[in-house]
Structure 1
Amino acid sequence: MTRVHDMGGRFGDGRIDPGHPEDPIYAQDWHARALAVTLAAGALGQWNIDMSRHARERLSPRDYTDFSYYEKWISALADLLVDTGVLSADDLAGQGDDTRHPLAERALKAEDVAAVLARGGPADRPMTGMPAFAPGQRVRCLRPAANRAVDGGHTRLPAYAAGAEGQILRCHGAHVFPDSNAHGLGEAPEPLYTVVFAAAELWAQPERPGDEVMLDLWQSYLEPA
């Protein structure tokens, strides 16, 4: 089952405005702080990137549609901090005590930020066994687009691709499976493929029917066509 965030390719939303190269990176000063505190909190090691994405997806439909991009980030961060027990609702309201936090030693220091960002969080893992699909093979995305293990859970298969037929372009090796990792069920790495779809396969009236769309999709999302 998809959530309100899964709106890719939806009709009627208008063109995407990419902005201008000379536009400021952050429209408002607090946007940079929202990004910084989200990354710093993530460095505490209490959740992974897939849990973080799912926290944003789990915002209420009204909040998700009303909030700006970084309002979604900071609101989801507040939920993560409480859900994982890092902070309490009282702490967020400024009513907590001043006791030294158990995770204080893990705090990301300013002098370490550049190295942490450069290191990133690679999601590739050793491949075990042979991939089920090979370049050039025709495949079909499962329908519906949904997490098969957790009802309403996180998935990276977009709804607009459910049931669509495409062709394997390449296999990127094994990568952490988000549908599992977002719910504390383990990394469960599996092959990740770039799959090429004709635009007309995804949308009834594509703006340019000759276009192709490439999606990176995990093996569990695919079946032979």
Structure 2
Amino acid sequence: MNGPHDLGGRMGFGPVAPEENEPLFHAEWEKRALGIVLCCGALGYWTIDESRHARETIPHTDYLRFSYYRIWLTALIELLQRHGELSAQELASGHAQTAGNRASRRLSVDGVAGVLAKGGPTSRPLENAPLYPVGTRVRVLNLQPTGHIRLPGYLRGHIGVVEAHCGGHVFPDTNAVHQGEQPQHLYTIAFDGADLWGQGERLSVRADLWESYVEPV
């Protein structure tokens, strides 16, 4: 979707100013926010793709003024309400009124390290062969979905060259909206910087794109 998160190549947002020696957290509440998000994810209601999509659908005027972890918490509230773990009354009062629905999946302190170490691998076996061998020139489709997509907007319509085949991976567009993993072949595709930006000779950009995002030239 054309959400506030997709700022690549967009003008008018000022320079990128990295913070020297940036701390992991800028406030104590951010630590708690991260912990709450991870623990709620362990309940198993949503995938990483659905959680990303929940953040993307925050209104532009809020997303662009919220801090990183406020965006996370705002999306988490939406997810918990969507899946019946948080009511409007509980949100307004700040207190739980009923027991959680999945107490058996509660993440204990001792289990945190194991969950983080496990991660969330997305590689999946595929029976069909990849359509595009290394070296194939492909054009990125001009996709404009209302749902989740992992295709950067600035690549739409541009031509690149397949540089590597990354195997089969969960397709985030369907996984985000409870339509199943539907894995596809994933490719690393190289683009000419001058073609993308109108400047930047000898600059190249590489993006990992799913097979349904491109077509042969």
TM-score bracket for the superposition, by shorter chain length? over 0.9
1:195 corresponding residue in structure 2:
189
The runs of 5 or more residues in structure 1 that have no matched partner are none
Query: CA offsets, 1:158-182, max 9 Å, x none?
Result: 1100001000011111100011001
Q: What SS is found at the alignment partner of 2:26?
A: coil
Q: CA deviation at 1:29?
A: 1.4
Q: Which amino acid aligns with 1:75?
A: T
Q: Which residue of 2 aligns with 1:9?
A: 9
2:100 is aligned to 101
Q: Indicate the residue corresponding to 2:205 in structure 1.
A: 213
SS in 1 for 2:16: coil
Q: Per the alignment, in what secondary structure is the counterpart of residue 164 of structure 2?
A: strand
Spell out, residue by residue over 1:72-112, the C-alpha distance to the aligned partner (whole angstroms, 9 max, x if none): 11000000000111211222223665543221111110100
Match of 2:68 in 1: 69
1:122/1:90 Cα in 2 relative to 1: closer, same or farther (>3 Å)? same
Normalising by structure 1, we get a TM-score of: 0.91
Q: Which runs of 4+ in 1 moved over 4 A?
A: 95-98
Gaps spanning 5+ residues in structure 2: where? none
- Mapped contact 2:90–2:97 kept (Cα < 8 A): no
Q: Which amino acid aligns with 1:155?
A: I
Q: 1:146 aligned to 114, 122, 144, which one?
A: 144
Q: Is the 8 A contact 1:192 1:218 kept in 2?
A: yes
CA RMSD of aligned residues (A): 1.5
Equivalent-residue separation in structure 2 for 1:212 and 1:83 (angstroms): 41
Moved more, 4-13 or 51-60: 4-13
Instruction: Tell me if 1:84 matches 2:83.
Output: yes
User: How high is the sequence identity, in percent, across the aligned residues?
Assistant: 46
Corresponding position of 2:151: 157
How many residues of Structure 1 are paired with residues of Structure 2 in the alignment?
Answer: 217
TM-score (structure 2 length as normaliser): 0.95
Question: 1:46, 1:84 within 8 Å by CA — same for their partners in 2?
Answer: yes
